[in-house]
């Protein structure tokens, strides 16, 4: 999910093809054995360059996704229908900021810096999850995001709690504990509208579902047979479950949840398959996915613009804080 577009980052594969010394090959063999034994890798352990780079890319893109993910929902904080919904939405958006921070910290243990990661995001070199390039047009979108987008994220994040790279795994455990309220609050919000709302409100919910369903299904990334990076990530215990398997689990869960809500999912091909014991679903429009990843979704420019603006306009605050800290230290030096 957070390695979207990594498969097209051809430059990364050069590390794998470089000539390696015998010493390095031995280190890599020992590393592979540790992974096979289910051992955790910590920050200062030896690791192949490709493992390190894959993780820096994935963890930083995961972090960027959390921070950018604050924007579509932040859009509705001032217009939440009740004080209760407003405080809930504020808490959720605060959590997303916190999740981004846990993940940036985890990525930094691998030798990259916050400024480097943010520079990659702001220049367009690093990606964030495609889903956050869609607009939140109504209040029901907030509920739909909680139910479907957070639902998909949870499905992807639970296996990462067992990622071989321990700082990432620990951050994920923390995140998963906090994430479940995100999905529940969204579902509950939609349920309230469907059970107690006016006809117009019910229609608003259905419309939100119609717009968020397919992008949520796309969150899991391209089909397995079009994800060349997945194999190496699985071999190294970074990725535990394939895109297609996660996507199927998500669809199966959502179908049952949709019945409780009383909404229809906008896929005429959605149908229980008794033989497979799973729901069959219709074809995904991968053109849309690649367009959005490539920068031409509905809100890409708006999202990135908001982040760049926040960074640039906040520069004086960062500088002032450092200047103040330096001044304080001259007055009262910290004990060594």
Partner 1 sequence: MATDQSTRPPANEWPLWEVFVRTKAGLDHKHCGSLHAADPKMAIQLARDVYTRRQEGISVWVVRADQIVASDPGDKDMYFDPMEDKVYRHPTFYQLPGAVDHM
Binding stretches for partner 1 (CB under 8 A): 42, 44-46, 91, 94-95, 98, 101-102, 105-106, 108-109, 113-115, 170-171, 174, 177-178, 318-319, 321-322, 324-325, 328-329, 334
Minimum distance, C-beta of residue 106 to partner 1, in the bound complex (Å): 8
Quick one: 43 or 260, whose CB is closer to partner 1?
43
Quick one: 38 or 283, whose CB is closer to partner 1?
38
Minimum distance, C-beta of residue 322 to partner 1, in the bound complex (Å): 5
Q: State the Rg of the chain over Cα.
A: 22
Quick one: 112 or 230, whose CB is closer to partner 1?
112
Nearest C-alpha neighbor of 234 from the set 247, 221, 243: 243
Burial readout 179-217 (b: 16 or more C-beta within 10 A, e: otherwise):
bebbbebbbebbbebbeebeeebbebbbbbbebbbbbbb
The CA angle 195-201-204, to the nearest 5 degrees, is: 120
Quick one: 108 or 267, whose CB is closer to partner 1?
108
Minimum distance, C-beta of residue 45 to partner 1, in the bound complex (Å): 5
Minimum distance, C-beta of residue 278 to partner 1, in the bound complex (Å): 35
Neighbours of 75 (CB within 10 A): 15
Q: Which H or E element spans position 133? A: none
Residue tagged 């997303």 (tokens): 96
Minimum distance, C-beta of residue 110 to partner 1, in the bound complex (Å): 12
Rounded CA gap, 333 and 107, in Å?
Answer: 31
């Amino acid at each position: 999910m957070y390695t979207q577009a990594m498969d097209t980052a051809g430059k990364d594969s050069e590390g794998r093809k470089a000539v390696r010394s015998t010493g390095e090959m031995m280190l890599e063999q020992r590393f592979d054995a540790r992974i096979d034994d289910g051992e955790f890798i910590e920050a200062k352990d030896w690791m192949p360059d490709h493992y390190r780079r894959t993780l820096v890319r994935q963890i930083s893109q995961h972090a960027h996704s959390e921070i950018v993910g604050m924007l579509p929902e932040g859009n509705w904080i001032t217009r939440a229908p009740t004080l209760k919904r407003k405080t809930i939405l504020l808490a959720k958006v605060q959590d997303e900021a916190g999740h981004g921070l846990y993940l940036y910290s985890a990525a930094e243990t691998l030798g990259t810096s916050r400024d480097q990661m943010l520079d990659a995001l702001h220049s367009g070199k690093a990606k964030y999850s495609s889903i956050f390039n869609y607009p939140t047009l109504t209040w029901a979108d907030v509920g739909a995001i909680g139910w479907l987008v957070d639902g998909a994220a949870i499905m992807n994040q639970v296996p990462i709690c067992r990622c071989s790279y321990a700082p990432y795994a620990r951050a994920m455990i923390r995140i998963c504990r906090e994430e479940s309220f995100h999905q529940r609050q969204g579902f509950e919000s939609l349920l309230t509208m469907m059970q107690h709302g006016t006809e117009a409100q019910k229609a608003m919910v259905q419309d939100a579902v119609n717009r968020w369903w397919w992008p949520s299904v796309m969150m899991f990334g391209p089909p397995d047979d079009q994800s060349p990076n997945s194999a190496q990530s699985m071999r190294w215990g970074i990725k535990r479950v394939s895109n297609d398997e996660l996507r199927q689990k998500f669809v199966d869960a959502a179908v049952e949840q949709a019945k409780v809500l009383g909404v229809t999912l906008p896929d005429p091909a959605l149908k229980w398959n008794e033989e497979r014991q799973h729901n069959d679903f219709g074809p995904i429009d991968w053109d849309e996915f690649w367009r959005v990843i490539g920068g031409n979704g509905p809100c890409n420019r708006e999202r990135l613009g908001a982040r760049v603006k926040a960074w640039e306009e906040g520069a004086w605050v960062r500088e002032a804080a450092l200047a103040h800290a330096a001044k304080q230290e001259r007055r009262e030096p910290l004990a060594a």
